[in-house]
Amino acid sequence: MYAILIILAILIVIIVRNIRVVQQAKAFVIERLGAYKTTWNVGLHLKVPFIERVAKVVSLKEQVADFPPQPVITKDNVTMQIDTVVYFQITDPKLYTYGIEQPILAIENLSATTLRNIIGDLELDQCLTSRDIINSKMRNILDEATDPWGIKVNRVELKNILPPKEIQNAMEKQMKAERERREAILRAEGDKRAAILEAEGEKESAILRADAKKQQQILEAEGEAEAILKVQKARAESIKLLNEAAPSDAVVKLKSLDAFEAAAQGQATKIIIPSEIQGLAGLAEGIIESVKK
pLDDT in tens, 44-98: 888 888 888 888 999 999 999 988 888 888 888 888 888 899 999 999 999 999 9
Report how far apart the first and last C-alpha atoms of the chain are (Å, whole number).
183
The domain defined by 62-163 folds into Tetrahydropterin Synthase; Chain A (3.30.479)
pTM: 0.56
- The reported pLDDT for the residue numbered 151 is 93
Who contacts 287 (Cβ-Cβ below 8 Å, separation ≥6)? none
d(CA 276, CA 253): 8
Residue ranges per structural domain of the chain: 2-59, 62-163, 165-246, 247-264+271-293
- The reported pLDDT for the residue numbered 14 is 81
Confidence grade of residue 287 (pLDDT, cut at 50, 70, 90): very low
d(CA 18, CA 40): 13
* pLDDT tens string 187-234: 888 888 888 888 888 888 888 888 888 888 888 888 888 888 887 787
Who contacts 108 (Cβ-Cβ below 8 Å, separation ≥6)? 65, 67
- The reported pLDDT for the residue numbered 126 is 82
d(CA 12, CA 270): 156
State the DSSP H helix or E strand holding residue 292, giving kind and residue range, or none if neither: helix 275-292
- The reported pLDDT for the residue numbered 155 is 92
Task: Give me the phi and psi of 7, to 5 degrees please.
Answer: -65, -45
Confidence grade of residue 242 (pLDDT, cut at 50, 70, 90): low
- The reported pLDDT for the residue numbered 28 is 93
- The reported pLDDT for the residue numbered 214 is 87
Task: Give me the phi and psi of 195, to 5 degrees please.
Answer: -65, -40
Confidence grade of residue 154 (pLDDT, cut at 50, 70, 90): very high
* pLDDT over 70, % of the chain: 81
- The reported pLDDT for the residue numbered 249 is 59
Strands (E), 47-192: 52-59, 62-66, 70-73, 79-90, 151-162
Q: Which of these, 235, 78, 85, 54, lies nearest to 159 by C-alpha position?
A: 85
